Every structure is written in structure tokens, then in C-alpha cells.
A and B are shown apart, each in its own frame.
Chain A
Amino acid sequence: MHMADALLSPAVGVTMWAVTAGAAAYSIKKVQEDMDEKKIPLMGVMGAFVFAAQMINFAIPGTGSSGHLGGGMLLAILLGPYAGFLTMASVLLIQALFFADGGLLAFGCNVFNLGFYTCFIAYPFIYKWFTRKGINSKRLLAACLTAAIVALQLGSFSVVVETFLSGKTELPFSTFLLIMQPIHLAIGVVEGLVTASVVTFVWKARPEILETVLRGEALGSVSLKKVLAGFTLGAVLIGGVFSWFASTNPDGLEWSMFKTAGTAELEANDGLHTSLGNLQNQTAILPDYGFKTSGNGENEAAVSKDAEKQSRSFVDAGTSVAGLVGGALTLGLAALSGIAISMVKRRRKKATTEG
């Protein structure tokens, strides 16, 4: 499943970008060290292949429904972990740009969820373990199936964690987890079965493709130590960024609107605001928040912080009218400016074609 921008907080989005960029930089280094640029066209064309193969409907026996291929596991097996990771990243970038599948800010999350686990966890520790004594069809099936299931479970778990840490939805962590994991178990089984069929076919037709990858020749192998080191670095980075956000903002990850709204109110000490503030005091339905304290600058911060704890309600009745009017006007202005520019452009174009 692709993570969306709307569910992310900047802290989580930027951190995952950093982690993904680190993994990508390391992969690029390995790819450049271990192989010539001959692999670059292969990676490019394979990325396009996975992109297209994702659109094939696979009939799932006995259910009447159909499933799709994600392709992360297939890329890791056929290209090796480093080239596979980079290829997956470019596939996801093109999806984000042209199809808005997963946003640009969520790109880091998506590459991590769909590329990192397949290439750097499932491939080296599961797929390679199953095929360590050589390849046959049964081993390939077991290897692909287990690897795909584990990778997708880890990936969907990450989606839940990223969503939870971003704090944009009300979904309780456990509920979201209970929805996501079983769905991705089913998806993982389909992914594993399709991957196994394709890999088995390729192995029977052109065994040398799989064997050169498995031997780690020209493509490199993943060492446990380096993966662990990478994970530790990621954890430190995530921990550091999150604790920084937590300490600058008592309310955790969210950028409290009260802080900014509070300073905006403090500056607004002119007559209009004071009289409006008084009006709102009279009409306030949720008296513990709003402009009620705006005349009293000193304990404003304390009160608003208090109010933030007591009530997360975002607006009171007095300001809501102004908010509605202002919001509608803003949208109207934006739309009008767009229409006006288009009209001017059209007229100018007409003038040039006629003249």
C-alpha cells in the first residue's frame, strides 16, 4: 500500500526521506563498485518492466477475484538487492509524479516500505537462506512465498507506524494494525506465488541469470553487520528527530496551531480585534478557548497551552463566522484570479491569431 502525503507529518516525511536517501546512496556506491554501467540500462528497462507488469491481473484460484504484482521481491531476486532497491525507487518516483500514487513527500516512506524490506531484509535473510544449498522449484517456491509475506508484513506495519507517528488520523494504532496486517497477508501470498512462478520460469529457461545474482558476482551481497549498522543509524536518526520535535512542542509531533495562532493574536491589539474579542466572549460556546484571553497578553500563552490540553476543539462559535466568511472569500478569490488569468490569456491568444 502506498503511503499518502495527506497522512504524513513533515517530521516523519523528512526523516524517512533521509533514511531512504542513505540506503540509496549506499546502494549506488555498491552498484558502482561492483559492476560496470552495463547494468544501468538493465535496471532502467527492468524498472519499466515492473511498472508495466504491475498492471497485469492475476486470477486468484478459488476466489473469483484477482491480484497484482508489487514487484519489489522480483526485482531483488533478478537484479540483486542494490540494483533492485534503486530500480524500485525510480519506479515509485515515476508513479508518484505521473499517477500521484503515493505523494512526493511520502516518497521516502514508500521506498522504505516497499523497497527496503524486500531488498535488504527479505532477500538476504530469507530468500538466500532458503536457496543456500542450491536452487530447485520447491525451494524457490518456499523462498519467494516466505520472503514476500515477511516483506509485505513489515511494509504494512511501517505504514501503520508512520501514520500513527504523524498523528493525522484518529485511527487507534491497534485497530489500524488489525485492518492492515491481515489484508497484507493475503496480498503477500499472491505476491509470493506470482514471484515464485516467474522466478521458477526464468530459472528453468535461463538459469545463468539467477545464478550470477545469487553468487553475488558483479552485484554484491548484503552483510548482516552492515544492515544492522544501517538500522541502528536509522533508529538514532528517527529517535533524534522525533525527540527534538517532542521537546520543542509539548504536544508531541504536531505543530501546534495554538502557538502560531497565539502570537498572531498577541499582535492584534487594535480596536477592531478587541471589540471582536469582546463580542466573541459574549457569544463563546466553548469558553475555554478562543479570543477570550486576547486582552490579557501576559498569561495568554499559559492559558492557551492549558486550553490546548483541555480541549482540542479547533474553533469556537464567535470566530467560526469570521472563519467561514474568510475561508469562502479566500477560495473565491483564488478561483476568480485563476479564471481572470485564463480569460486574459485566451483573449491575448485570440488577438495574436487574428492579428
Chain B
Amino acid sequence: MLNIMNSIYDIRLLDDLARRETSIHRLHPLAKLLTTAVYLIVVVSFDRYEISRLLPLFFYPILIFAFAEIPVKPILKRLLWVEPFVIGIGILNPVFDPQMITFAGLEISRGWITFLSIFTKGSLTVIAALLLIAVTGMDKLAEALRMLRVPKVFVLQLLLTYRYISVLMEEVGTTLRAYSLRAPGQKGIQRHVWGSLVGQMFLRTFDRAQRVYQAMILRGFTGEYITGSNSKMRLKDFAFLAGWSLFFIIIRLFDLPMLLGLIVTGVIR
């Protein structure tokens, strides 16, 4: 119940954030999508013992947060929500790789290193995905998918699913509230009504889909979802994509924190 309301809130929040007008929001969706793709591949391409070299990759989300004026708290909250899965699998690493190594005078098992590496990667990838939608929005992302030659059947279907999620979640929420008011103190939907409760909702949805289709036909639907904007990539969009990609590749090829550390410690010594 709470879960459904939270989810509706989350979707609307990201929707609202995507409607802001900042330099990042105004960039072409394709540039942001491709940059995110390069970023994700670079993040996961690092070895499982790597932590320090992942740190320069924090620049990207932090700068996007700042330039796009995205509030940090709700995104981090979402991150905490999904992190348990990654932690659940990663936390077993110290058990299976207990070999000790010395790191800066500390005895630490290699399993903890791999766990920290997975944890860092998990945080970076999750934040990057959430930021992509928070600065782009679903309609523009769909436009980018169309430019990548994703078939219109899929894109249209994706957009319709997205459009109707909040409608159907509210319906499910109402139904569940009605159920819980009539069956107080129960933990979930009882076995004997599984079929009728979900089945009734399905039938209502099925009929709704037909009405939606008829309404769309009446308004001239021919199989194309027209968003109204069909912009081309401009110079600054290419610059955004190329600049960040170059930065990610440099991070991948060179150990920047180590170079920085060597310079600083070298100067001190």
C-alpha cells in the first residue's frame, strides 16, 4: 500500500525533475543517452580489485547533480533502496576470499576489497541511470531511441506503458485499500481471492485498453507517436558526448588518483 504510493511519488518526482530547464536538460537526449552508455561500460570494465581508480568517475554524477540542479537526497534514497541486492551478493566475498593483504598498514582481506569495488560500482551505475531519466524524461528518451532506429512498435508500447503506470497504480492502490478496509489486520491478499482480485483488475484493464485504442483511432492515430519535437544534435551536444567520453576513456587508461597522489606525496617528500 505504502509501497504503491511511494512508487507513484517516485515516478512523478522524476517526471517533475525532467521538466526543469537547465543547460543539462536542454542537451539533446541522444547525447545524454550515449554518454550514459559509455559511462556504464567504463564503470563496469574495471577489475574487481579496483577501488581508487573508480573514484574519478564520481565527477560525472556530481557535476550533473550540480549543473542540472537535481536534489541529491531523493536519488540517494532510491540508491539505498536497491543497494541491498548488490550488498547481499557482494558481502559474501570476504567469506570466500579471506586472503589477507596489507593496505596502507592495515590488514584487510581481499574479499573486502572486491566487496567495496562492487559497492562503488553499484552506486555509480544506479545513480547514472536515475540521473539520465531525471535530466531527460521519458518522452525525450523515447525520441532518442527512435533516432537509434529502435522500432516504433516498441517505443510506442514503452511510452504507453509509461503513461498508464500511474493510472493503473492508482487503481491497484484503490483496490488494495478497499480490500484492506474489509479485511483488517491481514498481511496480504488471501489465497481464495488471488484470482478474482487480480483477474477483475485485468479485465477492467483489458477493456480500458480497448477504449484507449478507440479513442486514439478517433483522434487520428496511425501507429506513430508524435512528440512534436524532432531536433537534431547540435555542436554542444556533440561536445558534451565527446568531452565526457574522452574523460571516461582517460580514466580507464590512466590511474589518475595514483598520479595525483604521486605528485602530492612526491612534493611533500
Query: Which residues of A pack against B, CB within 8 Å?
Result: 1-2, 4-10, 13-14, 24-25, 28, 31-32, 37-38, 40-49, 51-53, 55-61, 64-67, 69, 78, 86-87, 89-91, 93-94, 96-101, 103-105, 163, 167-172, 175, 193-194, 196-198, 200-202, 205-206, 209, 254-257, 260-261, 264, 272-273, 275-276, 279, 285-286, 312-315, 317, 319-327, 329-331, 333-335, 337-342, 345
* 28 A–B contacts, CB within 8 A, in A order: A5-B121, A5-B122, A5-B126, A7-B118, A8-B44, A10-B45, A31-B153, A43-B157, A45-B161, A46-B205, A46-B209, A53-B201, A55-B172, A59-B189, A60-B188, A94-B158, A94-B165, A169-B89, A169-B92, A175-B96, A197-B198, A254-B47, A257-B47, A257-B53, A323-B104, A326-B257, A327-B261, A342-B65
- B16 lies within 8 A of chain A by Cβ: no
In the complex, chain B residues whose CB is within 8 Å of the CB of A175: 96
Closest 5 CB pairs between A and B? Answer: A44-B160, A326-B261, A201-B199, A197-B195, A47-B161
Residue B47 contacts which of A57, A61, A255, A331 (CB distance < 8 angstroms)?
A255
Knowing A172-B96, A314-B113 are in contact, say whether A40-B156 is a contact too (CB < 8 A).
yes
Complex-state Cα separation, A42 to B202, whole angstroms: 11
Complex-state Cα separation, A337 to B62, whole angstroms: 8
Give the A-B contact count at a CB cut-off of 8 A: 391
A202 & B203 in contact (Cβ 8 Å cutoff): yes
Residue B195 contacts which of A31, A200, A313 (CB distance < 8 angstroms)?
A200
Measured CB to CB, the closest approach of chain A to B1, in angstroms, equals: 9
- B49 lies within 8 A of chain A by Cβ: yes
Measured CB to CB, the closest approach of chain B to A140, in angstroms, equals: 10
Which residue on B lies nearest to A90, using beta carbons? B158
Measured CB to CB, the closest approach of chain B to A128, in angstroms, equals: 20
B69 & A99 in contact (Cβ 8 Å cutoff): no
B133 & A48 in contact (Cβ 8 Å cutoff): no
A98 & B11 in contact (Cβ 8 Å cutoff): yes
A53 & B198 in contact (Cβ 8 Å cutoff): yes
A327 & B90 in contact (Cβ 8 Å cutoff): no
